Amino acid sequence: MRRFLIAWVGLTLLGCIGLHQLGRIDPVEAPPDAAGAWAQRIFEAMRADVPLPEAPPEVERYAAGQAVVVQAWWRGKVRARHEGGPRYAEAVRAAAKRFAAAPGLRELPGFAASGPDAIHFTVTTNLGTAPLLSGIPLLSTLFLVPINEGLVGEQGGGRAHLTPDEMIALGLYDTAVKTPIPDLSFGTHLDRATGMLALRLGIGAEAMADSGRVLRFRAHTTGPGRYPGADGISREELLQAARIGAEFLLRHQRTGGRNDGRYIYRYDARTARPAPGRSYSMPRHSGTTYFMAQAARVLDMPEARMGALRALGWVRRNMQRTCGAPDRLCVRTGRVADMGGAALTALAAAEVLAQKDDPAVREQLIGLNNFIRSMQREDGELMHVYNLRDDHPVDVQKMYYSGEAAYALFNSHEVNPDERDLEVARRVMAHLTGSAWNFFGSRYFYGEEHWTCQAAARAAAHMDVDEALDFCLRWLGFNRALLYEPGQTPWPVAGAVGVGPVVVPRLTAVASRVEAGAQIYRLARDRGLPVEDLRRQMEAHLTVLMRMRWAPGPVHLLADPAAAFGGVPATQASLEVRNDFVQHAGSAMLLWAEVMAEEGR
């Protein structure tokens, strides 16, 4: 056994060293800082039909590792491209000359426009190449670093690049391998990417496989603006960002007709249209409505309140049912009603009432709370599904739902005092942070507890929360151990959370930690507990959120930059915004802005 283990370790080390050497790229230096600004001046002069400015000496001297690729983008698509040699200034000037003579480009409305609607130009420098590991299931999809690396195909003396921006626009990064975990995927679609390269080389897939080769290349891209953006997190900046997020949701909420109040669930910025698919999440609809009502109250946004009222009205007209008794209102999802839809609709209703009374919303809230109470088990846990066809509850549990329900009940009590709601919420919290999380290793492993910990903070006014506070501080400390520091990943995502360099960090996971952490921070601070590490954690999370939101974002990749303004994508490599991505980020910003106001910052 000892000899076997030694051999196994030795072979593993040799394999790791071999893969590292195979995949290693020794890049040349990136273009000088002046190169990108000079390139943009070249394109502006080209559009204005004036003499092209001279290149600074350091730009004139610079040579890339292999090639310089110049692309003209309009409404999220490449409208013209030029692949030059390694000399940067020469390639940019050649591209400007080529683009100026391209009639299709000149005829586009964006050619003479300025701002987000203009044609945008990017310059991608190939800093060095390395082989692409292919043919090994799963492993080969991970051999390309998303965002930082593109592909170059070679065959018969021809060469074609697929830049990282193009791969983002085509949705090739981080989506090849789906996992059982919701919203988690990873890996690059290499087959689709290779097919694009073959098409550009004018050959078929078989010829590409037989006589061509595909390499990875380290890319350096400059474009029309800075994305990720600035990283300020002052109170004023957080409030303004939350307002812009609420405005994004209002632009993407339907008004008039049967669907008045329903949000566009998934906005595809590549097309400026809803992403295809019939699914619509009721918990996310109502969670988004909660943020709209929150924005209305904190930011004094009457238009956001009207949006929240429209959204709750859509639920009443289309998705609300009675479950078990005439006074128990539930929210339908397909053939069942679930606790998530009821809980978050109640939470949104309570937030609406916290600003101003509304009889229809109050009636809705009371009925939903009646349903939530009816679903509690003897041990305090809630049943999460109600079978509408057979008219009975189903004792199954799903992620988030019990925490959402407890949070909704505590918030409801502030606007509609009912001791029965408090009693149910207390028992749920005792279960979630006590007996439900008591097993071997429970102090070293945690689930998604952001709703649980928001409920724990709100519960402090109504029950002993020492155990819940301890649980949530441990959970936040666990997430702090997963916090990326500068330089720990290939991407500029310091402040995000993750466990390695393979998967681009999800922004919603970051935002939800702040939603919970901001409220736990206030509770711990007011009890005199040390909170310095937690404060730094929250502000690191907010820094990455502020940088990655679209304000304006990667405008050259967006079909309609004005429509996309204020959106929050799933990751830096994604061009899709789901309504709850904006909700979680916006709520996080508002909650921390309130903390900063309390502390005079």
* Each residue's pLDDT tens digit, 446-504: 667 899 999 999 999 999 999 999 999 999 999 999 999 998 899 999 999 987 777 89
Q: Which two tokens stand for residue 141?
A: 């999809």
In a domain, 15, yes or no: no
CATH number where 468 lies: 1.50.10.10
Query: Which residues touch 462 (CB under 8 Å, ≥6 apart)?
Result: 410, 413, 422, 425, 426
pLDDT band at 180 (very low <50, low <70, confident <90, very high): confident
Supply angle C-alpha 144, 145, 147, rounded to 5: 120
Determine the pLDDT at residue 16. 65
Q: Which of 239-253, 438-452, 500-514, 536-550 has the lowest mean pLDDT?
A: 438-452
Distances (CA, A) of 557 to 82, 218, 472: 18, 20, 39
Determine the pLDDT at residue 591. 98
- Whether residues 458 and 424 share a domain: the answer is yes
Q: How many CA atoms lie within 13 A of 15 on its CB side?
A: 6
Question: Over 555-577, what HEC string results?
Answer: HHHCCCHHHHCCCCCCCCCCCEE
Determine the pLDDT at residue 452. 94
In the chain, % of residues over pLDDT 90: 75
In a domain, 20, yes or no: no
Domain count, the chain: 2
Mean pLDDT of 1-21: 74
246 phi, psi to nearest 5 deg: -65, -40
Which stretch, 155-159, 360-364, 495-499, has highest mean pLDDT? 360-364
Which residues are bridge partners to 331 per DSSP? 320
pLDDT band at 185 (very low <50, low <70, confident <90, very high): confident
Q: Which of 2-6, 58-62, 226-230, 404-408 has the lowest mean pLDDT?
A: 2-6
For residue 120, give the nearest of 582, 559, 588 by alpha carbon.
559
Burial class (CB in 10 A: 0-12, 13-18, 19+), 219: buried
Which residues are bridge partners to 158 per DSSP? 155
The b/e string for 340-366 (b: 16+ C-beta within 10 A; e otherwise) is bbbbbbbbbbbbbbbbeebeebbebbb
- Whether residues 171 and 55 share a domain: the answer is yes
- Whether residues 76 and 179 share a domain: the answer is yes
| pTM, 2 dp | 0.93
Q: Residue 589: is its pLDDT beyond 90?
A: yes
Which residues span the domain enclosing 411?
Answer: 235-598
- Whether residues 274 and 297 share a domain: the answer is yes
In a domain, 543, yes or no: yes
Determine the pLDDT at residue 205. 82
Q: Residue 116: is its pLDDT beyond 70?
A: yes
- Whether residues 412 and 305 share a domain: the answer is yes
- Whether residues 170 and 250 share a domain: the answer is no
pLDDT band at 136 (very low <50, low <70, confident <90, very high): confident
pLDDT tens for 12-56 read 787 666 666 666 788 889 999 999 999 999 999 999 999 999 999
Determine the pLDDT at residue 19. 61
